[in-house]
Structure formats: structure tokens, C-alpha cells
Chains A and B, each alone.
Chain A
Amino acid sequence: MSTLGKKLYRWVDDRVHLGDLIEFMGKKYVPVHRGSIWYYFGGVTLFLFLIQVITGILLLLYYKGSEDLAFESIQFLMSKVSFGWLIRSVHSWSANLFILAAFIHMFSVFFEKSYRPPREMTWLSGMFMLFLGFGFGFSGYLLPWNELAFFATKVGTDIAGVIPLVGKPMMIFLRGGEDVTGATLSRFFGFHVAVLPGLFTVLLGIHLLLVQRQGMSEPLGAEDSPAADKKTMPFFPNFLLRDLLFWLIVLNVLAILAVFFPWELGQKADAFAPAPAGIRPEWYFLFMFQTLKYLPAQLWIVDGEVLGILLFALAGILWTLVPFWDRKSAKGQQSRIITYVGIGAIVYILVFTILGWLF
């Protein structure tokens, strides 16, 4: 280190004792086992979130959040602003990769049962962040104010409206009125750039703090084996460098997607045009959308979609609360049923997503 650097370090160290932090980092070890690769997906998700923040701020410089200007401002951004198309394309692609990485991260944690005590809070904060991620996706989808997004938002908010009791007020709150209009756009814009990022940042802080505090989870059963038998690698620099390598790979994939498959803008939304054929929500909502399509209008005495939505809500709640009802993993035993539930969920999501894609 140069003398100036050393001086600066000492100056800061005198005040906040950096030594403790460095010692903590030096003592941090990451377990090495056949499932170690899954550890990286949390970091990848974080990386994609950071990209979202940066590209999002860049987009804000040109975006105008109103009914008459939103579509035109993005048209302008994509055709006139240098690299405007690239920034938008990266933002859209990275949003999708973010959800994908979060899904992979979640399922790997689920199958390893890493949510078991003492990491219930880490799981919960992660699940809440995933739900916020859906909120980001849903609200961001509307912002270009194009046809597809307009009708997807109508359908999505109407679905919220069929929930008994709270549904109707919630729909009006989301839409900013009875219908999807410019008022909806203003609200979604606010959610997307202020409310959700704020909440997300707090949860992310808690999540990362917990991971630091408790260390990485080890596979079930491995905790009991003697410490000498365990393989580990130092977090700094070994794990961190591998993390960075992953980030670099993701960045390349992102660049290829954004450049060779630029995100389309489509047609401007028109409240007096029929819904276009081929309307579908973002892919991560597709399995639910497709399920609703297959449900008959009436099942016994309830509306088909009311039942569908309530079932999805119930499944989501059970999934989120898994650390509290999976007694077996909590005791350190293998729990087959949970594994089957997870496989079932993946198969269901895959099959219905593909069906939704094809039909």
C-alpha cells in the first residue's frame, strides 16, 4: 500500500476499528460439498438486483410516468438517446434473470432444507423479497404503457378484485379508481421506483446480515460430523473470487441477450381497442394464468377463478411457512415428503408454463 493509502487506512481504523472486521472476514469459511454450487445463486440474484438499481436510475432520467407521455418517452429513449435501447433492454432482461436466479436460489434452499432452525428468518426475508420481486415485475410491466401490459394489468388487478371481502378495495387502491387508467400508471410508477425499492433494501439488509451472522447453512446431517472431516474454503478471497467469476458470466449472458434479443416496445395502449390475441403476462405468472384458463366458470357454488386464486394463495402461504411445519428437518432428519412437495411444485410450474407458452 502506498503511504497515503496506509495513512488513510489508519485514520479510518482509529475511528471505527477496521481490524475487527478484517479479522471476521478472515475467519469466515464456506462449507464445501456436492451442493456448494447452489451457494452462488444468492450472490447472482444480488448482482442482478444491483444491475436493476443502476439501469433503473438511468431509465428514470428519460422516462415520463403519465398516460400521454409514457409510451412516447420510451420510444424517444429507444430511438434517439445514445444506447437508450441497450439500457432498457438490459433492465428488462435483467429483471427476468433476477426472478429466475431468485427461483433457483429458493428451490436450492428448499431442497437442502436450509430454512430449518436457526435460519427461519433468513427464509422468510427471502420469500418476502421474492414477492416484492413479483411486485417489481408486475408494476414495471405496465410502465411502457403498451397494449399487452395494459390488458395484463387489467386482468392482474381484476384477479385481486375477486378475492372475497378485501379484494374490491384492494383493486381500487391498486388501480387508483374503478378502471385501469393514467391514475394506475402513476401509482405503479410510485410503487416501482419508491415503495418497493425501499422495502426491498430493508429486507435485503436483514437477509445479508443474517447470512453473515449465522454463516452458510450446511447439508442436513453434516453438522454432526467432526469438524476435522469437514471441507471448507475461506470466504476471502477464495469464495469471493469464485462469486465474482459467476457475476462475470452472468454479465456476459445478460449482454448477449440484451444486444441480440432487444426488448420490444409494442403498440401503445388504447382503452377502446379489443385485447390483442396472444396476450399473456410475464412468464413467471404464466403457470397461474394458465391454471385460471382451465378452471371452469363455476365449480359447485364458487366462481372458478375465486377458487383458483384462493388455492394459490394458500399454497403460497404454506410454502412461505415451511420452516414452521416441517418438523422433521427441524430435528435434523431427512424429510422425504418435503422433497416430493418441492418436485411437485417444480413439475407443476414447468408443465403449466410450457402449456401457457404453447397455447
Chain B
Amino acid sequence: MNNTPQTKRDFLKYVLGAGVLAWLASVVYPVLAYLKPPKQGEVEVTTVKVGPLSAIPKESGEIVRFGTKPVILIRTAEGDVRAFAATCTHLDCTVQFRKDLGVIWCACHNGKYDLSGRNIAGPPPRPLDPYRVVIQDGDVLLSKKS
């Protein structure tokens, strides 16, 4: 009964508006989704065999591969073997062992961690994530701490 030209026009406006919105969404959504890179099916690495303990000198540190991640393997002066994620907790640089300072050092902003992975100086906000080290038949094995 209220079919005046006014309400008819309103109705048309809504239909048109909703149509434009739906059209925009159907264009924008695929583009946004496209920009987001898909998760790569990474092979889940659980354990890595680094090599014989005898080959690692005391007071040394080196980067080893753990899947796609770098891990720093430290052998202290006492002969302890420890491993941490080599990714600095500050802004993602890769850390290194500094024999002269006796610390794990990040060159990017001069961050320092002690040999237990604790952040002791500079900007790093958190300790390095530890990895589990097991010595089995004289070989060094690395695995993720759960």
C-alpha cells in the first residue's frame, strides 16, 4: 500500500549498494588472499646428528643446520655441549660465539648472551631458545625441547 515512488527508490538504492559491496568483496578478497604466501609443507625435523663429540674443540661455537633453522652449538671450556636457536631474540639476526669475550654475540646491535643463552647485555629482550643435546655413542645429537 505504501508503494510511493520514494520507497521504491530507497529499495533500489539498497539493492544497488549491496550489489556494489558484494562486487567489491568478490574482487578484494581473492587479491588479499593471494598476497598471503601459503604455508610451505616443511619436513618436520626432530633430531639432527651433528657429528662426533671429539671433533668439537673446547671453547668453540658453530652454526649447524636444524631443518631450515640455524642452531648454535657451544662447547664450553669445561667441555659441556649446549645448543640454542641461533636466531637473536631482538630482531632476527644470526648470533655467533665470541671466544675473546666468552659470550654469544649478535653483531647487529651488539646484543650479548651468556653461554647458558641468557640475554645479559644489549637490546635482546629474551634468552635464546634452548635445544636438547644428547651424546650417544660419542655422537652429538640435537633435538627440540618440547
> Which residues of A pack against B, CB within 8 Å?
151, 154-155, 158-159, 169, 172-173, 176-177, 179, 183, 271-279, 292-293, 295-298, 303-305
Contacts and interface: CB of A to CB of B under 8 A. Distances in A.
A172 B109 contact: no
A296 B123 CA distance: 6
A275 B107 contact: yes
Interface stretch (B8-16, B17-25, B90-98): B90-98
A274 B86 contact: yes
Interface stretch (B32-40, B46-54, B75-83, B131-139): B32-40
Interface of B: 35-37, 40, 63-65, 68, 70, 86, 88, 90-96, 106-110, 119, 122-125
Contacts of B106: 275
Contacts, number: 75
A183 B107 CA distance: 25
B123 A155 contact: no
A13 to B, nearest CB: 44
Contact of B123 (A154, A183, A293): A293
A173 B36 contact: yes
A276 B107 contact: yes
Contacts of A272: 63-65, 70, 94
Given A154-B93, A155-B92, A273-B63, A303 B37 contact: no
Given A297-B124, A304-B123, A274 B109 contact: no
Contacts of A297: 90, 119, 122-125
30 contacts: A151-B108, A154-B91, A154-B93, A155-B91, A155-B92, A158-B91, A158-B92, A173-B35, A173-B36, A179-B68, A183-B37, A272-B63, A272-B94, A273-B63, A274-B63, A274-B86, A274-B94, A274-B95, A274-B96, A275-B93, A275-B94, A275-B95, A275-B108, A276-B107, A277-B107, A279-B108, A293-B122, A297-B123, A297-B125, A304-B123
Nearest to A280: B108
